[in-house]
Amino acid sequence: MMSEKKLNFLILIFLFLVPLFSILLNDIYITTLFSKIVILAIAGIGLNLILGYGGMVSFGHAAFFGLGGYVTGILAFHFNNYEPIQILVFEFEGTNQLLLIWIFTLIFSSILALFIGYFSLRTSGVYFIMITLAFAQMLYYFSISWPTYGGEDGLSLSLRNQIPFLNTMDPITFFYICYVWLIITIIFVKFILNSPLGISLKASKENEDRVRSVGINPKKVKLISFIISGAITGLAGSLYADLNRFVSPTILSWQMSGEIMILVILGGMFRLYGPILGAFFYIILEQFLGGITENWQFWLGFIILLEVLYAKAGIMSFLIRDKYDEKTSS
């Protein structure tokens, strides 16, 4: 058992050293696998902002994850085919520059989150869950019927998009790009949680009437948090598309939303680093069980069920010294 700060530090050090382990073991796939873990951890941190700290159970975060992937794929597709992108009366060129792609991803993900959040936050409980799920499924079916970008077959990228002076095709380089984004996400979300917005968000989860009594609109707080959460998840989707050099409707499906939610719960909600541990154990279990049985999904589900039943605070509750308390934040 150790303190939470020490565990968080060890997690970051371990991830930083992953490429070294990959080189020593002469297995570059390890680095690629951990790139996926880091990307899903970013998505999990985005969801945890509203799920763990805001009490908003969104089952539609695949909408943002998938949008980030498709923004990346579409911009690269038009750049490689020398075709302009037309949106209504506007026309602009595609690009393979990641810095620009990330900006577009954050903008479009934020706009989508504003739209979904505006309608979803008019409800609560199971209705909120169903509306977020419905929006994601609408985008999923739309992407299937979009033949320009592959429809159900998806869209392939011949090369990863670029950053000046960096070789993004190198697995180690791309891993550290994802790692830097993970650090930025952690710092940003921690800042949000300690800001008046974050304090109001956590208070709104406990009692909205008390928040209103001090002159704060809890719906506005939740909407802003929902937008931030969507933008972070969209960024993760963009990285995921570049990692695989492929984007398809599957990343917009409800299964993707469930996967992100599972790793948040698995690692531990209300803990900033919980989704990182959750992503690690989820992907490692998936790889291990997939190598020994064809029915690995059943056993993975069984293990997750045991974790939810007997470790409601997540994996982090087994590793840190202090007792878990829902009312405290990391």
pLDDT digits (tens, 9 = 90+) for 268-286: 888 899 999 999 999 998 8
Res 330: pLDDT: 45
Res 321: pLDDT: 63
Name the pLDDT band for 325 (thresholds 50, 70, 90): very low
Q: How far apart, in whole angstroms, are the C-alpha atoms of residue 225 and residue 31?
A: 32
Considering the chain, what percentage of its residues have pLDDT values greater than 70? 96
Q: Which of 231-235, 251-255, 319-323 has the lowest mean pLDDT?
A: 319-323
Secondary structure (3-state) at 111: helix
Please count the residues of the chain. Answer: 330
Average pLDDT, the chain: 90
pLDDT digits (tens, 9 = 90+) for 33-55: 999 999 999 999 999 999 989 98
pLDDT digits (tens, 9 = 90+) for 161-199: 999 999 999 999 999 999 999 999 999 999 999 999 999
Domain borders along the chain are 32-257
Task: Using the predicted structure, report yes or no on whether residue 327 has a pLDDT greater than 70.
Answer: no
Specify which residues 247 forms β-bridges with. Answer: 155
Name the pLDDT band for 324 (thresholds 50, 70, 90): very low
Among 187, 124, 172, smallest CA distance to 15 is for 172
Average pLDDT over residues 75-91: 85
Res 322: pLDDT: 56
Task: Using the predicted structure, report yes or no on whether residue 93 has a pLDDT greater than 90.
Answer: no
Name the residue with higher pLDDT: 293 or 133: 133
DSSP 8-state secondary structure symbol assigned to residue 273: T
User: Which helix (H) or strand (E) segment is 85 a member of?
Assistant: strand 85-87
Task: Using the predicted structure, report yes or no on whether residue 120 has a pLDDT greater than 60.
Answer: yes
Average pLDDT over residues 136-144: 93
Name the residue with higher pLDDT: 16 or 86: 16
Among 228, 258, 223, 257, smallest CA distance to 123 is for 223
Extract the tokens encoding 31.
Answer: 């680095």
pLDDT digits (tens, 9 = 90+) for 192-249: 999 999 999 999 988 888 889 888 999 999 999 999 999 999 999 999 999 999 999 9
